[in-house]
Amino acid sequence: MMKPVKVGLLGLGTVGTGVVRIVEGHQEDLSNQVGSSISIAQILVKDRTKSRNIPVDASKLTEDPWDIVRNPEIDVIVEVMGGITQTKEYILEALERGKHIVTANKDLMALHGPEILAKAREKGCDVLYEASVAGGIPIIRTLIEGFSSDRITKIMGIVNGTTNYILTKMTQEGAAYSDVLKEAQELGYAESDPTSDVEGLDAARKMTILSTLGFRANVSLDNVSTKGISNVTQEDIQYAKRLGYEVKLLGIAERQDDFISVSVQPTMIKQTHPIASVNGVFNAVYVHGEAVGETMFYGPGAGEMPTATSVVADIVAVVKNMKLGVNGRQAQLSYNVVKLKTDEQIASKFFLLLHVEDRAGVLAQIAQVFSDCDVSIESVMQPTTPHKSSTEIIIITHEASKAAMNNVLKAFEGLAAVRKIKSVYRVEG
């Protein structure tokens, strides 16, 4: 038995509380695995006098993060407080002092991952961050280890539970976006300011992390083209259903030769695709490898215990590495250079919902635009309603480049027959 490993916990919110629960509840199992006990020696809180859901020794609580970062007794810092600029300072200082880091902070890792990992290598320390993406799914170690011999060509993820909850409710209950959002806020599934979730920023940060690992290249948040779900209508969802698709907020990272593209957008995904049936707050990451083909990893995306489980699994990994004397040597290297695909190189099928003039010859004009722009049409639907002729046209294209599609949309602006481009979606599956 080694001497007990001492953990300093930055933050005692939902996830922090879960970490305390697991570490204290599973002492025997944990020490059987790593050969030493793990103790939470110090905890950063905002208010020492506040009452807690779990019993914690008051003498362990501090309101000053530097108390923990500079405590020479602490071996591992577990960061579950969130925040970016100040939190980075604490973590860099802790690394400077030879402490290992476990963090659940996707914002920090998406924005400053390369800098933090470089400092960790320099100091021979571990920085593990399994809980930062898809809380309960061990996707980060899977990308690093499970796919080490393969060449990943595509990662497609439902990595934000709030938006998946909203889209699932809209699909299953026919409710409007704003009503479902309000309900989600009341239930605590969405924040009072939901922007980061619904506008896709949270998902974009997670895709930054996943694509950096999957493509072994430092993808930055700026590289991710991002669009949220706030304009998704019930009409879009119903038309998607009729055509055999579900609307999901998908993060999509693709690689072809040396070029990559990473995006987040509401996407129509074929109902038969395994990711289409991932509902509610669940997350899933679909990975396509050249050799392995299709795989998918499914589980809870957030929540006290799932996220805490991933954090503690990372603590176990750090302690095993301490025992083996190999900290700081297993991080994945980003040896590829990021070369972004141009809009000419990014290709997919597209769904368009157009509001058009109600007269003969309109479809011919529209078809001509597609043809002029070299985009071929897979199917056209003109839904009829009992009492009036339709003024809506739904088009699904064959695979076309984003650039060609942009040309189509631009041409429609100058075409009187097209009154409004109501929706444009990427189509997958």
Q: Which residues are catalytic?
A: 206
Query: Maximum distance among all alpha carbons in the chain?
Result: 84
Rule CB under 8 A: say whether 178 interacts with its own copies: no
Rule CB under 8 A: say whether 295 interacts with its own copies: yes
d(Cα 284, Cα 173) in Å, to the nearest integer?
22
Rule CB under 8 A: say whether 291 interacts with its own copies: yes
Three-state SS at 339: coil
Helix ranges (H only) for 174-303 are: 177-187, 195-198, 201-215, 234-242
Rule CB under 8 A: say whether 2 interacts with its own copies: no
Whether residue 104 contacts residue 311, with contact meaning beta carbons closer than 8 Å, is answered with yes
Rule CB under 8 A: say whether 329 interacts with its own copies: yes
Q: Which stretch binds its own copies (CB under 8 A): 226-234, 253-261, 300-308, 415-423?
A: 300-308
Subset of residues 151 to 170 that bind its own copies, contact rule: CB under 8 A: 151
Contacts of 56 by beta carbon, 8 Å cutoff, 6+ apart: 12, 20, 43
Least distance to its own copies from the beta carbon of 237, Å? Answer: 20
Q: Report the alpha-carbon angle 217-219-224, nearest 5.
A: 145
Rule CB under 8 A: say whether 16 interacts with its own copies: no
Binds its own copies by CB under 8 A, chosen from 175, 221, 243, 313: 313
Binds its own copies by CB under 8 A, chosen from 104, 116, 268, 317: 317
Relative to beta strand 38-44, strand 61-62 is: parallel
d(Cα 394, Cα 322) in Å, to the nearest integer?
59
Using CB under 8 A as the binding criterion, the count of chain residues that bind its own copies stands at 54
Binds its own copies by CB under 8 A, chosen from 142, 225, 226, 345: 142
Least distance to its own copies from the beta carbon of 258, Å? Answer: 12
Binds its own copies by CB under 8 A, chosen from 300, 352, 370, 417: 300
Whether residue 84 contacts residue 17, with contact meaning beta carbons closer than 8 Å, is answered with no
As a 3-state breakdown, the chain gives helix, strand, coil percent values, each rounded to 5, of 40, 25, 35
In this structure, what DSSP letter does residue 136 have?
A: T
Least distance to its own copies from the beta carbon of 289, Å? Answer: 7
Subset of residues 208 to 227 that bind its own copies, contact rule: CB under 8 A: 216
Whether residue 200 contacts residue 227, with contact meaning beta carbons closer than 8 Å, is answered with yes
d(Cα 141, Cα 159) in Å, to the nearest integer?
16
* Contact pattern for its own copies over residues 18 through 57, marking x by CB under 8 A: x---x---x--xx-xx------------------------
Rule CB under 8 A: say whether 301 interacts with its own copies: no
Annotated binding site for L-homoserine: 191
- Per CB under 8 A, residues contacting its own copies are 18, 22, 26, 29-30, 32-33, 130, 136-138, 141-142, 145-151, 216, 274, 277, 282, 289, 291-300, 303, 305-306, 308-313, 315-317, 320, 324, 326, 329-330, 333, 335
